[in-house]
Structure 1
Amino acid sequence: MKIRSASLHHYRLPLRTAWVTASGAFARREGWLLRLTTDTGRKGHGDCAPLPGSSSATPADTASELRTRARRLIGVPAGDALQTIDSALRRHAPAVSLAIETALLDLLAQAAGLPLATCLRGDQTSAARRDAPLTVAVNAALGSIAEVRDDVLRTATAEGFKVLKLKVGMADVDDDVNHLQRLAKVLPAAICLRLDANRAWHRRDAERFLHGCRGLPIEMLEEPLAEPGLEQLGNLQAATGIAIAIDESASLLTFADILRSRPVRRLVIKPTRTGGLLPALALARRASHAGLQCIVTSSVESACGVTAAAQLALALDNDLAHGLATSGWLVRNTGVPPIVGSGRLTLPNAAGLAFTPDERLVFSDVSDTDPA
């Protein structure tokens, strides 16, 4: 099964409202949908959607890198092509390597007649359960705590979400705590909050925030420290029953030290940051073995990207709610996103990635000269 052709669709997807965090905001998601076609007629897809603000590379740079790398795959067997994704590409252009790897894994899983999550797990016994739904728990992504309304919380809980995620750290600590105390009064029993500060606070403010949150139904606080260190994170975690989680700050710390000292209880994994599903899975397995809980999250990727992240979450097979219910933030999409209902995301029990692009999308061959 050799790659016969490679093509790209460049997209700009507007958000219904800006995605605002303590580290910045964005109002659209830009990226490229990669399609690899084999000599047997199979089509594999991958999403290249660089995280906003994560790289100095311009969109033209990213498109050029993706086009060059995809062109090199033509004529190469899919399995061999997977081995050509080097660590340098994963490090310097993670969105590019993720798109290529996802498309290749899609093809290989289709050829095996198995869902991608099954192939990632290496659990061939699940092939006998072809009628079982592919479903994983997810949290509601409600945006900034300062802007969320009581009726939005009620709607989310009515839709079956048990975990509601909110962004904090964009206002004074006391204001955030006051908002939380007010919102907690309207939450039904057994519903909990998941908070993301995006490295908004210095140590004293983080401590003050956690002190103010005592007794509130908060199950996780992500990235509380502007200058994270193993000792500082460990001290925060030791002082609270709320699970502290790290995401982007993992790149500032030595992963071996994180696994050895376990300063926090959770690790947030974004395939776009790790540069692929395979390194993300390897990272999650090492972290889980060390006693860290792992959550897969999206940064409002397109339907293709969210589907790939969902396959990874399914492969992890833990009981946590993952941060993948973000497709509703987009005005339009590259295809039909995964179904979300009753607080769970469901994928078709089909071979491969289980993503079908919108038939109206226009793909250009990688040999074309259009830069973006």
Structure 2
Amino acid sequence: MIIKDLQVKYRNIPLLVPFKTALRTAVDIDSIEVEIMLDNGIVGLGAAAPTVVITGDSTESIMSALAGPIKKALVGLDLKQFQTTLKRVRLCCIGNTSAKAAADMALHDAYSKWLNVPLHAFLGGSKRIQTSMTIGVDTPEKMAWDAEKSVEAGFHLLKIKVGAHPEMDIVRIESIREAVPAGTMLRLDANQAWSPKQAVKLLNEMEKRNLGIELVEQPVAAHDWEGLKYVTEHVGLPVMADESVFSAKDALQLVSGRYADLINIKLMKCGGIAEAWKIASVAEANGVKCMVGSMMEPSLSVAAAAHFAAAHPNIHYMDLDAPLWLSEEPDHLTYDGEDVLLSGRAGIGLV
């Protein structure tokens, strides 16, 4: 079980349509894929995608970290010392959470392949996974049309991107509410775009209009923890921290101070499954429920997140629709409407 080599590959994958948020518009993604080769022939697979405006990781920095300090830290180690290898990835360099996530999932893939079990079974669970479908920020008419088509495709949870031109956000949500069945649940994601007072005003007005909103993600700037707490304390809707939480240490601070009601965990932010598990457990110990989400990523990394979501008991929400935006068919997992179906093969699993 000696790690003999680590190889890094790059692909660019166009999106079917542009993906628009308050932070950026994406038309394609860079997929950085890693292979970890063991001396017994097992190959562990992982992947990452850069989202510079959130993680600070670029394509170049991810590839450099994987081919440099991460490879140096891993080659020659015995993967039977599994926790040691995960720790070596975490400590080999500062930051670079996306690169670490790719290596972490490749190690998890290889180890569960050695055990000949699906990754979620190795992690200890197999709950049903239902994802929301994201509605990118746009004109009210376009967003209502996108929402209607998503419901027709079998999605009953819609994640609505807001925040670009906040003065239009109530009209956007009302247009969507009118276009979809009453039972459709809406989740809002402002991607840091509102000020604290602006967020409170908008959310309280939306709640007064009974628009069927389940929760709101990251209403204020990632660094503005006091602003996040202000919103949490002044609105009735559950507030979810996303870009504010990168690590278990962040999660501990957040739950201790009750800065938000919920936490969104993403592998690209936290550096992989090992840290994600700690975040979810810290939150669970303090009565805070978690979501597993993703950036705009390849299906391999989203599948790894889905295995984690299926296993950890404190994952109550899932946002794993990114592969459906890509111009290539999803691999490693399949979709049946809003249901995300994991492969029964060993590791992350090829369908």
TM (norm. structure 1) is 0.84
Q: Residues 133-180 of structure 1: CA distance to partner in whole angstroms, max 9, x if unpaired? A: x7401101121153644343223223332210111000133x110121
| Residues 332 and 343 in structure 2, CA contact (< 8 A), matched pair in contact too | no
Find the counterpart in structure 2 of residue 53 from structure 1: 53
Matched letter for residue 107 of structure 1: A
RMSD of aligned alpha carbons:
2.5
The runs of 5 or more residues in structure 2 that have no matched partner are none
SS, match of residue 80 in structure 2: helix
1:264 and 2:286 equivalent?
A: no
| Residues 192 and 221 in structure 2, CA contact (< 8 A), matched pair in contact too | yes
Question: How far has the Cα of 1:57 moved from its partner?
Answer: 5.6
Question: Which residue, 155, 163, 167 being the options, matches 1:169?
Answer: 163
| Residues 90 and 274 in structure 1, CA contact (< 8 A), matched pair in contact too | no
Find the counterpart in structure 2 of residue 309 from structure 1: 305
1:346 and 2:341 equivalent?
A: yes
| Residues 262 and 292 in structure 1, CA contact (< 8 A), matched pair in contact too | no
Distance 1:269 1:41, change over 3 A: same
Distance 1:83 1:268, change over 3 A: closer
Does 1 or 2 have the higher relative contact order (CA < 8 Å, sep 6+)?
1
SS, match of residue 35 in structure 1: strand
Matched letter for residue 159 of structure 2: K
Matched letter for residue 353 of structure 1: I
TM (norm. structure 2) is 0.89
Find the counterpart in structure 1 of residue 80 from structure 2: 79
Taking the aligned partners of 1:232 and 1:53, their CA distance within structure 2 comes to 20
Question: Which residue, 217, 220, 244 being the options, matches 1:222?
Answer: 217
Matched letter for residue 165 of structure 1: K
1:237 and 2:242 equivalent?
A: no
Pairs within 5 Å for 1:288-367? 288-317=284-313, 320-332=316-328, 336-355=331-350
Q: Residues 88-138 of structure 1: CA distance to partner in whole angstroms, max 9, x if unpaired? A: 4475111111111111111111111222122223x6xx7xxxxxxx74011
Taking the aligned partners of 2:342 and 2:99, their CA distance within structure 1 comes to 24
Taking the aligned partners of 1:178 and 1:154, their CA distance within structure 2 comes to 16
Find the counterpart in structure 1 of residue 32 from structure 2: 32
* Deviating more after overlay: 299-308 vs 342-351: 342-351
Taking the aligned partners of 1:98 and 1:319, their CA distance within structure 2 comes to 19
Q: Which has the higher helix share?
A: 2
The runs of 5 or more residues in structure 1 that have no matched partner are 127-133, 357-372
1:146 and 2:139 equivalent?
A: yes
Q: Residues 179-203 of structure 1: CA distance to partner in whole angstroms, max 9, x if unpaired? A: 2112212221221111110111112
Taking the aligned partners of 2:284 and 2:149, their CA distance within structure 1 comes to 33
Taking the aligned partners of 1:90 and 1:177, their CA distance within structure 2 comes to 44
Distance 1:117 1:177, change over 3 A: same
Find the counterpart in structure 2 of residue 108 from structure 1: 111
Question: How far has the Cα of 1:277 moved from its partner?
Answer: 0.5
Question: How far has the Cα of 1:213 moved from its partner?
Answer: 0.5
SS, match of residue 79 in structure 1: coil
Distance 1:169 1:56, change over 3 A: closer
Distance 1:9 1:318, change over 3 A: same
| Alignment: residue pair count | 344
